[in-house]
Amino acid sequence: MKDMMPDNISGEYQEHLFSYHDGTQRKALFTNIETQLPEGRLIVSRTNTDGIIIDVNQPFIEMSAYHKDELIGQPHYILRHPDMPAAAFSDLWKMVQQRNKWHGYVKNLRKDGGFYWVYATVIANIRKGDITGFTSVRRRASRAKINEAEILYQTL
């Protein structure tokens, strides 16, 4: 995946070099500017079995600040934020591969370097007994829960 570009970033930023599970690396740029998911809106995406994005809805596009064609076909880690512990995602993958529902608070990185918090749920799409992909739905989280998650994630 291409490094994030300073031209796309609004505000003062820091750098972080990610090494993803598939062996690739990416330089991420991030600011401390938060965007709030408006009340009543749900962010929806679907991936194939490898976590490659195959579909997103309009709120996903708006909150991530990417264009739709920059998202489709990309690994879902395009949204990974440096403050998110790897343990959260290994738990996610373990749960959904065992066909269980995963819930968690997630801080995501926007194309402009900003971030947004959501309460996310991920489930396996099971068709005729096989897992054909995954669906995730995110909603607005309460500030109190976000504060708890922030503290917890610093310790992981």
Partner 1 sequence: MTHNFTVSPDFNPGHISGWYIFNTWLQRTINEELHLELYNSASEQRKAIADDRVDLIYANPYDATALVRDKGFFPVARADNKTDEAIIAVNHESPILNVEQLTDGTRISSTDDPDVRMMCMIMLEPAGLNKSNTSTTQRDAYILIAKDLLKNDADVGFFLEETYNELSDMTKKQLRPIVHSQIHVIHHLLLVGPKLAHKKDDIQSSLLSMADDSKGVGVLKNLNFERWVAVEQEEAEFMIDLMDTLAE
Ligand X SMILES: Cc1cc2nc3c(=O)[nH]c(=O)nc-3n(C[C@H](O)[C@H](O)[C@H](O)COP(=O)(O)O)c2cc1C
Write phi, then psi, for 80 (nearest 5 degrees). Answer: -60, 130
In the list 20, 59, 70, 91, the residue contacting partner 1 (rule: CB under 8 A) is: 59
Does 61 participate in binding partner 1 (rule CB under 8 A)? no
Distance CA 82, CA 15 (A): 9
User: Do the beta carbons of residue 84 and residue 5 sit within 8 Å?
Assistant: no
Partner whose footprint covers residue 123, from ligand X, partner 1, none (CB < 5 to 8 Å by kind): partner 1
In the list 9, 28, 30, 47, the residue contacting ligand X (rule: CB under 6 A) is: 47
Q: Is 106 left (phi over 0), alpha (psi -120 to 50) or beta?
A: beta
Other CB atoms within 10 A of residue 135 CB: 15
Does 125 participate in binding partner 1 (rule CB under 8 A)? yes
- Least CB distance from residue 26 to ligand X, whole Å? 10
Does 135 participate in binding partner 1 (rule CB under 8 A)? yes
User: Do the beta carbons of residue 48 and residue 58 sit within 8 Å?
Assistant: no
- Least CB distance from residue 47 to ligand X, whole Å? 4
Q: Which residues of this protein are in contact with ligand X, per CB under 6 A?
A: 20-21, 45, 47, 51, 76-77, 79-80, 84, 86, 89, 92, 106, 108, 122, 134, 136
